[in-house]
Amino acid sequence: MAVTVEKAQKLGYTCLKALLRFAFMVANNLVAIPSYVLYLIVLQPLRILDSKSFWYIEGVLFKWLLAMVASWGWWAGYTVVEWGDDVKAVSEDEAMVLVNHQATGDVCTLMMCLQDKGTGRTHRDQQLVLLKDHLEKYYRSRDRKWIVLFPEGGFLRKRRETSQAFAKKNNLPFLKHVTLPRLGATQVILKTLVAPQENGTPPAGDGLRRESKSKGLQWVIDTTIAYPKGEPIDIQTWILGYRQPAVTHVHYRIFPVKDVPLEPEALTNWLYQRFIEKENLLTHFYETGAFPPPQGQTKAISREMTLSNLWLVAIQSFAFLSGGMWYCLFQYLYHCLF
């Protein structure tokens, strides 16, 4: 097939843009990550004197790192529209976020979604013993808020066939857009982080309000990610930006943790039910282009998420200025010593 001049120019532009974006991503990581580590080293005395302030600052710096990753997709035109419950009102409470897993871009999408929802940090660990140890030693002492979990245990394309075979063998529903979740990590998180007395039911209305100041996991946020035409965005696309601008849709449903059973069999059934609901949500979305309205309502309301370009530029500028500052400082120390 002959390649026209117009197609060749378009291909050349796409390749050049991808190359420039990749170079920027590499430079971004080279200045941002070392700067983050060095700031934490310098702030170690504060960790001894005022641990709470130290971990608050660390949370802010970590959120800025996530913002840098979010900016790569945002500036490529990969945006997010949110549906369902408004989770901003519980962003300062401890919550577990259950997400369906389709591609590496799921994590990048969540990094973008978390930008306007407090300073919580994500965590995922396949080794359950180490996960429990981490939660007990570090998670609560560092005042983390949200913990993000992919209960399916792998990407949709890799687990779908195995999950469907398991479902057929055990007389469970046939799922196409999600896979059956695994119990392990969910059970460890709930057993470790749920306090003896949990909060109350979220009040009705436009937003959810904090019901209790008691420590412990307060909410489970069931999060469903839907990509245009069911084609997930992977990390390579997020970085290089060679795919056309696209809108990813994210649906939330909030459950008070007191409504989540802790016994293994009951929790397994509860998780299965959540992913059956995800299957129905995604089926409806791929057929209509929108998520269905909540039960008892006639219309689903979506909220277009926006990120401030000025804010993203400010964070990127801070990263590069920090990198330059540390470079000059180490260069000065090198000349003084040698």
Tally of domains in the chain = 1
330: part of which helix (H) or strand (E)? Answer: helix 309-337
In a domain, 32, yes or no: no
In a domain, 314, yes or no: no
**How does DSSP assign 125-172, residue by residue?**
-S-HHHHHHHIIIIITTTT--EEEE-TT-S-HHHHHHHHHHHHHHTT-
In a domain, 123, yes or no: yes
In a domain, 202, yes or no: yes
In a domain, 7, yes or no: no
Q: Is pTM beyond 0.75 here?
A: yes
Domain enclosing residue 64, as ranges: 43-307
In a domain, 280, yes or no: yes
In a domain, 104, yes or no: yes
Question: 120 - beta bridge partners?
Answer: none
In a domain, 2, yes or no: no
Tell me the pLDDT of the chain (338 aa) as tens digits.
556 877 888 888 889 889 999 999 999 999 999 999 999 999 999 999 998 899 889 988 988 998 999 999 999 999 999 999 988 888 888 888 999 998 888 888 888 888 877 554 544 444 555 666 767 666 766 767 788 889 888 888 888 899 999 889 999 999 999 999 988 888 888 888 876 554 444 444 444 444 444 468 889 999 999 998 888 998 889 999 888 999 999 999 999 999 999 899 999 999 999 999 999 999 999 999 999 998 888 888 899 988 999 999 999 999 999 999 999 999 999 888 88
